[in-house]
Amino acid sequence: MNIVKDYIFPENKLGSDQIEAIVSEASGSSIDLSDLYIQYTTVESWTCEDGIVKNGSQQIDSGYGIRAVSNEKTGFSYGNNFDFEKIIEAAKLSKSIVKSNEDKKINLKEYNDFKKLYISESPITSISDKEKVDFLREVDNYIKKKDKRVQQVIINLSSSHDSIFVANSLGKYCFDDRPLVRFNVMVILKSNDRVERGSAGGGGRYSYSTILGTNKPFELADEAIRIANVNLDSIPCKAGNTTVVLGSGWPGVLLHEAVGHGLEGDFNRKKTSNFSDQIGKQVASELCTVIDDGTIDNRRGSLSVDDEGTPTAKNILIENGILKGYMQDLMNAKLMNVEPTGNGRRESYAHLPMPRMTNTYMLGGSSTSDEIIDSVKDGIYAVNFSGGQVDITSGQFVFTASEAYKIESGKVTNSIKGMTLIGNGPDVLKKVSMVADDMKLDDGVGTCGKEGQSVPVGVGQPTLKIDDITVGGTEV
C-alpha cells in the first residue's frame, strides 16, 4: 500500500483534477519546470548497550514540497497541511518567487514504466517489537561469549519506509515505496592497559528478515571484534609520501568523496569543480572506469525513480580514464543542454532536489590483489576508512583509516593506527597504477551529506594501487 495514494489522497479529497490544478498553478510560460513532491515517512531505531535496550523510537513525518524553476532561479514552498487550498497557496508562492504570474494548464499521466528494485512493504511492521529486542540481546550475548576482553557493546537496528509521490510539469506523475534497513555493531576491547574499538554494519532496501533471518549479523559482530583486535596490536603510522594500496569495498568511500562529488552536475554547471569543462579529456589513469548506478536491486543507494520522477540509470562517468559525463537532475540537465541521468535526490519533502550520487564504484581490472601487494616494496595497505572530507573546488581531501597495515617487501605486516590520506582527487586517479579483479560493493552503510542534506548511498571498488600519495601519521 502506498500511503500517499491510499490514505493521504482520499483523506484530503485530492484526486487527479486537484493534482493537475496544483502543478498548473506552479507553472507558467516563463517557468521551465514545476513539480509537486509528497512524502509520508516512518522511521524507527533500536539501540542496545551492554545487553540493555536503552532506546526504542519511532517517528512519522509527512508533507509536500512545491518547486517552480525559471532558468537558474528556484521558488520553493513546503508544508504539512494537505488541504487543497493550502497547497494551491504554496504553489502560488513558489511561482511568485521566480516572478511569474501566468498559469499554464498541465495534463498529467501516470508513469509506471520503470523497474521496481525493492519490495514495497514496510520493514518496520514485518516483525514484532519483541522480536527486535530479542534479536539485539542475542547478538549482544554472542559477542560477550565470543571474546572475554569485551568492555562495551553497542548495537543499533534501524529502518525506515518512504511512500512518495511526484508530479511535474513535464506531464507525468508516479508513486514509489522505499524500504530501508540498517544494522550496526560497535565493540570495545581491552588488553592490558590498551583499549581499542571496532565497528561493522550492513543494510539495504529490504525487509528485516533479509538480515535477521541469516547469519549476517553475527558475521558483522565477528568483523567488529576482528577490527578492534587488529587495532590492539597496531603501531603508530609514519608520515610521508608512499605507495598506498586501497582494499576493495568500503574504501570506495574515498572515490565517492574525492571524485564523485566533483562529477555532480551543479558543481560543473557553476564551474566550481576540478572536472568542469573536462568531458572527453583524460582525467584519470586508463585503468579507471567509474560508474554511478542507481539500478542495482535492493542496494542502499538504489532508487526505482529519483525524487523528480526520473528512472535511475547506470551512468558511466569515467571510462578508461576519459571523462564521459556528469550526474544530472532535471534543472541542471536543462541548463547544461544534456539529458537528466536519474540523480535528482532530496532528503525530504522540505528540501530541494539536487544532483546526488546513488551507488558509485570503480570497475575491476586484470590484476589480482596478491599481485598488487607483491608489487609494493614499501607502502601501506588501507582496508577500512572511518571518515573524511573533501573540498569540491580544489579536490583536496583528507581521509582517516580505521584499519591499515604496513607493506614490506611485498608482504602485509604490522597493523598501524593514526593514518590519514591527504591528496587531490583528480591527481590521485592519475596515479592509479594497478587495479585488481575483485570489485566489491560496501555492506550498505553509506550516508552522503551535501548542502545540509543527507541521503543513503552505496560505494565500491576493487583493490587498487596508488603511487606516491601523502600519508599523515602519529609516529614521533
**Per-residue pLDDT tens digits for 375-414:** 999 999 999 998 777 787 777 889 899 999 999 999 999 9
pLDDT above 90 for 125: yes
DSSP string, 376-441: -SEEEEEEEEEEEEE-TTT-EEEEEEEEEEEEETTEEEEEEES-EEEEEHHHHHHTEEEEBS--EE
Q: Report, as an integer, the average pLDDT of 441-448.
A: 95
Provide the 3-class DSSP secondary structure of residue 262. Answer: helix
- Measure the CA–CA gap between 128 and 287, rounded to whole angstroms: 49
- Measure the CA–CA gap between 160 and 115, rounded to whole angstroms: 21
pLDDT above 60 for 14: yes
Q: Which amino acid is at 197?
A: R
- Measure the CA–CA gap between 301 and 352, rounded to whole angstroms: 18
- Predicted pLDDT at 254: 87
Question: What are the φ/ψ torsions at residue 132 (nearest 5 degrees)?
Answer: -65, -45
Render pLDDT for 322-356 as a digit per residue (tens, 0 to 9).
999 999 999 999 999 999 999 999 999 999 999 99
CA distances from 210 to 153, 203, 214 (A): 23, 9, 7
Render pLDDT for 251-292 as a digit per residue (tens, 0 to 9).
999 889 889 999 999 999 999 998 999 999 999 999 999 999
- What is the pTM (predicted TM-score) of this model? 0.95
Q: Report, as an integer, the average pLDDT of 232-253.
A: 94
Residue count of the chain, please give it. Answer: 476
- The domains of the chain, with CATH numbers, are 3-232 (3.30.2290.10), 236-472 (no CATH)
pLDDT above 60 for 142: yes
The three cell numbers of residue 174 are 508516479
- Predicted pLDDT at 257: 86
What is the average pLDDT score of the chain? 95
pLDDT above 80 for 101: no
- Predicted pLDDT at 476: 55
- Measure the CA–CA gap between 315 and 294, rounded to whole angstroms: 9
- % of the chain surpassing 70 pLDDT: 99
Q: Where are the alpha helices (DSSP H) in 76-154?
A: 84-97, 129-146
CB environment 281-314: b (16+ within 10 A), e (fewer): eebbbebbbbbbbbbbebbbbbbbbbbbbbbbbe
- Predicted pLDDT at 378: 96
- Measure the CA–CA gap between 390 and 399, rounded to whole angstroms: 9
Question: Using an 8 Å Cβ cutoff, are 469 and 423 in contact?
Answer: yes
